[in-house]
């Protein structure tokens, strides 16, 4: 009979062995030459630069930042409306949230790009495609963030509002200085998730019909793939997405641990 | 400052000199009547301690004074101004009434100094240098001058409560309300907070204190109010009420806590 300690050691050994076998099998069995030709062609990689950064990555960042900023503002307004004592505000907010949370982002993009020009033939959404993408991403993101922000506000203990009011602050001032800053500490992780989701959703902008200077990463990658008849451009833009999202996660983790210390 | 004492409620305008004047106050939570007609006043410079079993309505009474709870019926005058008037500027009146909570309710995302300056700047519209000066003076007063850049999470309960007192004092209030200020503290930390409150009373601050600290009530209080079941059962000089309670409910409560 083996002791529990021996059994645990043996079990750990088995786990390492499985991992090693899988890795070795992948290494030996994969057709590396073919893979390299179809997905990691150095010449094609070189061709992607500098435009993949100066055009595509830049535009993805701009679209996401605009959409997220508008969405955050909209989400905050919707959250406060949901918590309002005025009935119609609550109903409107609930309706907007349910609508844009339930619709696929692609449908929202289509509705805005086709529906708005039909409804208002003499007007245009300002700033062209950037305006449309800001609106569409903002509506989708805002609807999600509204519920997150509302939950965050409700998670702040009631005593915080009472203490602020007892010092003579108005309800609005107490919200702004005391409750909302604490709410945002709580909801930093889910908001980061939303930002990462929006980064990827920004690829739906292709539906608007873009000029080359407006290409974002996914559109750029697809065009590159078609031109080169090779998957390499997709790998390049995939890495570019990670270039955005991984540092973002690291920054937020830092912010979280800092907020934790202040708590 | 008046030392005049009145014992019975009079009709008409607010009693002159009364810092807090509560008349026929009723408060319902749903169908539950928590306050059943309270008549009560605190004179300027007086320290009034309110005692009673839990659920007696003493905290609700205190919270009605600065309108954290809205009374169902009745009037409350603060320095002669009716805070229960629907047209009253409640925010302005609250800024003159300091409040200290059982759970401290410090703002955890701000340093101690910022806790003390934010309302001064946002409500009293003081400039930052003046607000900081006032804050430092009050921190020194509660013996925490060295903690101004700490966050509340790094303080002990007793320190947090003293910061909360300093925060309220930084608004230069006319009176202070204390809602069981030592009930959430470890026993060895209670003394520090009570000492600060004693100093405050000695300076002539008007205070209304909901408490279980009978020693504090006896030593510092000018008046002791015993509440039970939403009414004031008995009130009078603390030494007399504690030594010689007239009402049977007061006797039975005191026999359990003393």
Closest CA of chain B from A170, distance in Å = 6
Q: Provide, as residue numbers in chain A, all residues whose Cβ is less than 8 Å from the Cβ of B97.
A: 166
Interface size, chain A vs chain B, as Cβ–Cβ contacts under 8 Å = 69
pLDDT at B10: 42
A interface with B, Cβ–Cβ below 8 Å? 157, 159-160, 162-170, 173, 177-178, 181-182, 185, 259, 261-263
- Within a domain: A130: yes
**A120 within some domain:** yes
In sequence order, the 6+-apart residues with CB closer than 8 A to the CB of B49 are B209, B210, B211, B216, B217, B220, B221, B223, B224, B225, B238
Distance from CA of B101 to the nearest CA of A (A): 8
Q: Which of B91, B107, B151 sits opposite A168 (nearest CB)?
A: B91
Q: Tell me how far apart the alpha carbons of residues B55 and A242 are, in angstroms, rounded to a whole number.
A: 58
- Edge-first strand order for the sheet with B32-43 is B32-43, B18-29, B73-78, B81-82
Q: List the one residue out of B191, B206, B197, B204 whose CA is nearest residue B166.
A: B197
Q: Kindly state whether residue A125 falls inside one of the protein's structural domains.
A: yes
d(CA B256, CA B119): 41
Asked if A163 lies within 8 A of B99 by C-beta distance, the reply is: yes
Tell me what pLDDT residue B11 has: 41
Q: What are phi and psi of A169, to 5 degrees?
A: -70, 145
Strand pairing report for B47-51 and B206-210 = parallel
Task: Tell me if B123 and A169 make a contact (CB, 8 A cut-off).
Answer: yes
B127 inside domain: yes
Burial code (b: 16+ CB inside 10 Å, e: under 16) for B239-249 equals: eebbeebeeeb
Domain that holds residue A158: 41-262
- Residue A110 inside a domain? The answer is yes
Query: Which chain B positions have a beta carbon within 8 Å of A168's beta carbon?
Result: 91-92, 94-96, 119, 123-124, 171
Can you spell out the DSSP letters for B27-76?
EEETTEEEEEEEEEEEETT-EEEEE--TTSSHHHHHHHHTTSS--SEEEE
- Give the residue from chain B lying closest to A181, CA to CA: B109
Q: How confident is the model at residue B2 (pLDDT cuts 50, 70, 90)?
A: very low
Stretch B149-169: mean pLDDT: 95
Domain coverage including residue B127: 106-173
Identity of the residue in B119, B153, B164 whose CB atom sits nearest the CB atom of A169: B119
Predicted confidence pLDDT, tens digits, chain A (263 residues): 678 899 999 999 999 999 999 999 988 888 888 888 888 888 888 887 888 888 889 999 999 999 999 999 999 999 999 999 899 999 999 999 999 999 999 999 988 888 888 888 777 777 788 888 999 999 999 999 999 999 999 999 999 999 999 999 999 999 999 999 999 988 988 999 899 999 999 989 888 888 888 888 898 889 888 888 888 889 889 999 999 999 988 988 888 887 776 65
pLDDT, tens digit, 9 for 90 and up, residues B27-54: 999 999 999 999 999 999 999 999 999 9
Chain B residues whose C-beta is within 8 A of a chain A C-beta are 66, 68, 91-92, 94-99, 101, 103, 105-109, 118-119, 122-124, 151, 153, 164, 167-168, 171
Q: Once rounded to an integer, what is the mean pLDDT over residues B174-197?
A: 94
* pLDDT at site B12: 46
In a domain, A13, yes or no: no
pLDDT band, residue B5 (cuts 50/70/90)? very low
For the domain that residue A136 is a member of, what is the CATH number?
1.10.3720.10
Closest B-chain CA to A167: B95
Task: Quick: pLDDT tens for B188-225.
Answer: 999 999 999 999 999 999 999 999 999 999 999 999 99
Tokens of A13: 């050994």
State how many domains chain B has: 1
pLDDT per residue as tens digits for the range B57-97: 999 999 999 999 999 999 999 999 999 999 999 999 999 99
Q: Is residue B250 part of a domain?
A: no
A26 within domain boundaries = no
Q: What distance in Å separates the CA atoms of residue A262 and residue A256, rounded to the nearest whole number?
A: 10
Does B38 or B1 have the greater pLDDT score? B38
Cis before A135 (ω within 30): no
Q: Which residue from B96, B99, B107 is facing A178, i.e. has the nearest CB?
A: B107
Shortest distance between the Cα of A53 and any Cα of chain B, in A, equals 38
pLDDT of residue A1: 64
Statement: residue B111 has pLDDT above 90: yes
Do B21 and B77 form a contact (C-beta atoms < 8 A)?
yes
Assigned domain for A114 exists:
yes
Give the confidence band of B226 by pLDDT, cuts at 50, 70, 90. very high
Would you say residue B125 lies in a domain? yes
Q: Which of A177, A185, A259 sits opposite B118 (nearest CB)?
A: A177
By Cβ distance, the residue of B66, B97, B105 closest to A159 is B105
Which is more confidently placed, B111 or B1? B111
Could you tell me if residue B74 is inside a domain?
no
Per the structure, the count of domains in chain A is: 1
Taking 80 as the threshold, does the pLDDT of residue B13 lie above it? no
Give the chain A residue whose CA is nearest to the CA of B121.
A169
Q: Do A166 and B122 touch (CB under 8 A)?
A: no
SS3 label, residue A21 = helix
The predicted structure's pLDDT at residue A54: 86
Q: pLDDT tens digits, residue range A119-178?
A: 887 777 777 888 889 999 999 999 999 999 999 999 999 999 999 999 999 999 999 999
Average pLDDT of chain B to the nearest whole number: 91
Min Cα–Cα distance to chain A from B153, Å: 6
* B45, part of any domain: no
Chain B nearest-CA residue for A178: B107
């Amino acid at each position: 009979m083996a002791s529990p300690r021996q059994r645990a050691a043996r079990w750990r050994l088995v786990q390492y062995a499985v991992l090693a076998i899988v890795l070795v099998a992948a290494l030996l069995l994969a057709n590396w030459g073919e893979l390299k030709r179809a997905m990691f062609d150095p010449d094609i990689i070189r061709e992607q630069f500098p435009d993949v950064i100066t055009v595509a990555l830049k535009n993805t960042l701009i679209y996401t930042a605009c959409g997220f900023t508008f969405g955050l503002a909209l989400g905050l307004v919707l959250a406060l409306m949901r918590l309002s004592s005025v009935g119609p505000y609550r109903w409107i907010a609930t309706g907007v949230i349910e609508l844009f949370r339930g619709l696929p982002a692609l449908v929202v993009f289509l509705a805005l790009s086709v529906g708005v020009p039909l409804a208002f033939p003499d007007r245009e959404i300002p700033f062209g495609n950037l305006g449309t993408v800001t609106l569409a991403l903002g509506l989708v993101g805002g609807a999600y963030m509204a519920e997150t922000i509302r939950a965050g506000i409700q998670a702040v203990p009631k005593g915080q509002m009472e203490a602020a009011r007892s010092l003579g602050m108005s309800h609005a001032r107490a919200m702004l200085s005391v409750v909302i800053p604490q709410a945002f500490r709580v909801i930093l992780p889910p908001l980061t998730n939303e930002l990462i989701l929006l980064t990827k959703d920004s690829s739906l902008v292709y539906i608007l019909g873009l000029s080359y200077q407006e290409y974002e990463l996914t559109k750029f990658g697809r065009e590159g793939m078609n031109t080169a008849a090779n998957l390499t451009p997709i790998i390049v833009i995939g890495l570019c997405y990670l270039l955005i999202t991984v540092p973002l996660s690291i920054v937020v983790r830092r912010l979280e641990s800092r907020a934790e210390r202040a708590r | 400052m008046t030392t005049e004492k009145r014992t019975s409620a009079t009709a008409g305008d607010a009693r002159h000199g009364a810092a807090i004047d509560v008349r026929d106050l009723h408060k319902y939570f749903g169908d539950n009547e928590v306050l059943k007609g309270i008549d009560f006043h605190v004179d300027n410079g007086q320290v009034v301690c309110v005692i009673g079993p839990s659920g007696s309505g003493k905290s609700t009474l205190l919270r009605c004074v600065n309108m954290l709870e809205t009374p169902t019926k009745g009037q409350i005058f603060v320095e002669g101004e009716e805070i229960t008037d629907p047209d009253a500027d409640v925010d302005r009146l609250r800024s003159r009434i300091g409040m200290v909570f059982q759970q401290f309710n410090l703002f955890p995302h701000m340093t101690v100094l910022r806790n003390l300056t934010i309302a001064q700047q946002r409500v009293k519209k003081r400039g930052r240098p003046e607000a900081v000066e006032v804050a430092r003076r009050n921190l020194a007063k509660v013996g925490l001058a060295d903690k101004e850049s700490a966050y509340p999470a790094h303080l002990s309960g007793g320190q947090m409560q003293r910061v909360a007192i300093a925060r309220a004092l930084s608004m230069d209030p006319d009176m202070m309300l204390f809602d069981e200020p030592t009930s959430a503290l470890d026993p060895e930390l209670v003394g520090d907070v009570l000492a600060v409150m004693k100093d405050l009373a000695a300076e002539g601050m008007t205070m209304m204190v909901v408490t279980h600290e009978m020693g504090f009530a006896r030593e510092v209080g000018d008046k002791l109010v015993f509440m039970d079941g939403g009414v004031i059962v008995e009130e009078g000089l603390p030494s007399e009420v504690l030594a010689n309670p007239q009402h049977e409910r007061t006797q039975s409560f005191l026999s359990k806590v003393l």
